[in-house]
Copies of this chain bind each other. A is one copy, B any other.
């Protein structure tokens, strides 16, 4: 018999049931932001490929400067000048120095750079060094940044802005990434009209299609919308079969009435395996998960708020499992502005606004009847009250996940 699972059990079931897809694709670096690395990235060269000064000044052998001071400068003969973007293809003789700009290459033999502020140009081809240098001072050595074989990023990593910079630095023009998943979205319900139509008596607009599309798109998936299907089991079955053929995962949403829920269960069951029916979560209980091979089939609640939360909590991790994406979710710690009740025997999700008050971040819960999506307009995020908790007092810390 199918049970109602806890949120943790659902996540564990997802991990156990589905496996990452093996497809990969190559994208140019300029399109790689936010994509998932299909394989680990190792450096293949030195960055920088030469010893580099980090200051405008003179390249020297540090040992030649030991003991110098303002009062007793070390006298060096200037035996060259380094230009930006050119090599420094000469040897630095003992007690010789060479002018080098910030970012310029060090001549052979130099191991440090003295800032120009700490030198005196005597105008006769010699300069005085007024402060001793230590080896490595003001220098980035060849390979300090990376060297061949250095692991830069692991497989599964989601590329951030600094990662793009790092990949540019090592000259990766093409990046092997996990493919975007194609996710099919089907809304069901005799009461639904498309968002751009005006509902007649007893009708409401289909909110879940645009809502889920936005969520999936923001998460890097391609969305294929199959529109609104009326409550007819044969039609729903045909659409689901088509979506399964064309997509990596299929989300059915709506069908809040008992008959349609049963039909969705029958359809999912007949196409593979029904994994569970119900999550101990408020809102979000009437959620179904099935699979056809390695393709997940999710029956989402019809209420948009419930469909949204279930998608955030379970559909996105499900897609991450398929795409091999590994990115932990971090939360903002905030202080509850008022007490929030909970006594449901199931985990409870609460939308909230965040406010900065007197140097603290405060979470202001939004009270809404289930299904009132517009109550979420302008909300900043949500927090969860665990199933064994009867509520939280004013001032309690909560972990807020941002929308």
Q: Which residues of A contact B (CB under 8 A)?
A: 29-30, 33-34, 43, 47-50, 52, 54, 56, 82-89, 101-105, 140, 144-146, 150, 152-154, 157, 160-171, 173, 189-192, 195-211, 213-215, 217-218, 231, 256-258, 302, 304, 308, 328, 330-333, 351, 354, 356, 361, 369-380, 400, 402-403
Contact = CB atoms under 8 A, between A and B. Distances in A.
Contact of A140 (B369, B380, B403): B369
A84 B162 contact: no
Given A201-B105, A204-B47, A308 B162 contact: yes
A376 B165 contact: yes
A257 B369 contact: no
Contact of A190 (B83, B204, B333, B374): B83
A210 to B, nearest CB: 4
Contact of A166 (B85, B166, B356, B377): B377
A201 B88 CA distance: 8
Given A304-B165, A308-B161, A33 B218 contact: yes
A278 to B, nearest CB: 16
A204 B153 CA distance: 21
A63 B375 CA distance: 30
A29 B202 contact: no
A226 B371 CA distance: 49
Contacts of A173: 195-196
Given A105-B201, A162-B211, A162-B351, 15 more contacts: A29-B210, A52-B204, A54-B370, A86-B201, A89-B201, A103-B189, A144-B369, A145-B373, A145-B375, A161-B211, A164-B214, A165-B211, A169-B207, A169-B373, A171-B197
Most B CB contacts (10 A, CB to CB) among A47, A167, A168, A195 go to A168
From A87, A202, A372, name the one whose CB has the most chain B CB atoms within 10 angstroms.
A202
B207 A50 contact: no
Most buried by B among A162, A164, A258: A162
Secondary structure at the A interface, as helix, strand, loop or mixed, is: loop
Given A162-B308, A173-B195, A377-B163, A189 B330 contact: no
Contacts of A201: 49-50, 86-89, 105
Contacts of A161: 211, 214-215, 218, 308, 403
A13 B209 CA distance: 44
A394 to B, nearest CB: 20
A100 to B, nearest CB: 10
A27 to B, nearest CB: 13
Nearest to A82: B202
Contacts of A170: 374
Given A201-B50, A371-B140, A163 B330 contact: no
Given A206-B168, A214-B161, A378-B154, A191 B29 contact: no
A170 B164 CA distance: 39
Contacts of A370: 54
A377 B153 CA distance: 7
B30 A210 contact: yes
Contacts of A160: 379, 403
A162 B379 contact: yes
A217 B370 CA distance: 36
B166 A376 contact: yes
Contacts of A378: 152-154, 157, 163
A86 B162 CA distance: 54
Nearest to A56: B258
